[in-house]
């Protein structure tokens, strides 16, 4: 029992004193994915769209918004080959409808990036992290 109490106290101390995620270099594919994902989670569509290629912005308009954004995105791997890159991530969505409190659902997803004018841009984003500017509504 005392071990469980100690575990709870240590967990609370660690989690409550935890800082912000480490910021990656923007010139790397994972750095771009980080900024894009943060913007989507924060609901900042303008910033998110600035990290998309023209093709990705257009194709995005044909998708509806895919529900609430995930709570957390964790890097699994990043592979570069010339002007294209693939970033695999673990997307964690939180749900508050668990039997005894909140629960999480983890899925693996991948970003495809291309290098345009020396800058990495997201060409294909997983459906959980799609964002649309809403310009399709104005047509």
Partner 1 sequence: MISQAPATGPGARSIQLTLRRMILYALLFALVIITAVGLSGLLERLFSTGALLASGDVAGLARSLAFTLIGGPLTAVLWWMVWRRLDDAPERTAPAWAVYLSAVYAVSLITAVTALLTTASSFIGRPEPQWYGPLSAGLVWAGIWIWHHWVWRHPVKHPPGLEDVPAITGWVFGLAVAVVSAISALGGLLDVAVRGNASLIAGAPWWQPIVRALVWAVGGAGVWWWHWFRRGGRSVETTLGDVALVGAGIFAAGATALTGAGVVVFVLLRTALDRGGAMSELLAPLGTALASAAVGALVWRYHRVIGTRRSLATRRAGRLVTSGVALAAAASGIGVVINATLATAVSPLAGGGVRTLLLGGVSSLLVGGCTWWFAWNPLQQPGSADAIPPGRRIYLVVFFGISAVVALIALLVIGYRLFEFLLGGSSGAGLLDRVRAPLGLLTAAGLVAAYHFALWRRERARPPGASAGAHAIDRVTLVAPYDTAALSKAVRDATGAKVAVWRRAESGHQALPAGAAVPVEQALVDRVLTALADVTARNVLVVIGPGTGQPAPFEVIPVDMDGRSR
Positive or negative, the CA dihedral 9, 14, 18, 23 is: negative
At its nearest, how many Å lie between partner 1 and the CB of residue 116?
A: 21
Taking the least distance from each CB to partner 1, the nearer of 56 and 89 is 89
Q: Is 45 in the site for partner 1 (CB under 8 A)?
A: no
Task: Give, in degrees to the nearest 5, the angle at Cα 132 between 127 and 134.
Answer: 150
Among the residue ranges 49-57, 84-92, 112-120, 130-138, the one whose residues contact partner 1 (CB under 8 A): 84-92
Q: How far apart are the first and last CA of the chain?
A: 63
Q: Is 134 in the site for partner 1 (CB under 8 A)?
A: no
Whose tokens are 């994915």? That residue is: 33
Distances in whole angstroms, Cα of residue 100 to Cα of each of 71, 95, 117: 19, 12, 50
> Of these, 6, 102, 119, 136, which contacts partner 1 (CB under 8 A)?
102
Helix (H, G, I), strand (E, B) or coil at 26: coil
Residues at the contact surface with partner 1, assessed by CB under 8 A: 4, 7-8, 10-12, 14-16, 18, 21-22, 24, 30, 33-34, 37-38, 40-41, 69-77, 88-90, 92, 94, 96, 98-104, 106
């Amino acid at each position: 029992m005392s071990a469980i109490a100690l575990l709870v106290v240590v967990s609370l101390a660690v989690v409550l004193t935890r800082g912000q995620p480490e910021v990656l270099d923007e010139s790397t594919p994972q750095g771009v994915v980080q900024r894009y994902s943060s913007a989507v989670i924060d609901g900042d569509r303008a910033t998110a769209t600035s990290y998309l290629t023209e093709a990705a912005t257009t194709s995005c308009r044909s998708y509806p918004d895919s529900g609430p954004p995930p709570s957390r995105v964790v890097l699994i791997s990043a592979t570069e080959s010339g002007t294209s890159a693939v970033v695999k991530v673990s997307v964690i969505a939180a749900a508050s409808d668990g039997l005894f409190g909140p629960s999480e659902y983890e899925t693996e997803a991948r970003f495809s990036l291309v290098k345009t004018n020396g800058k990495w841009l997201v060409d294909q984003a997983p459906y959980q992290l799609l964002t649309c500017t809403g310009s399709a509504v104005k047509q």
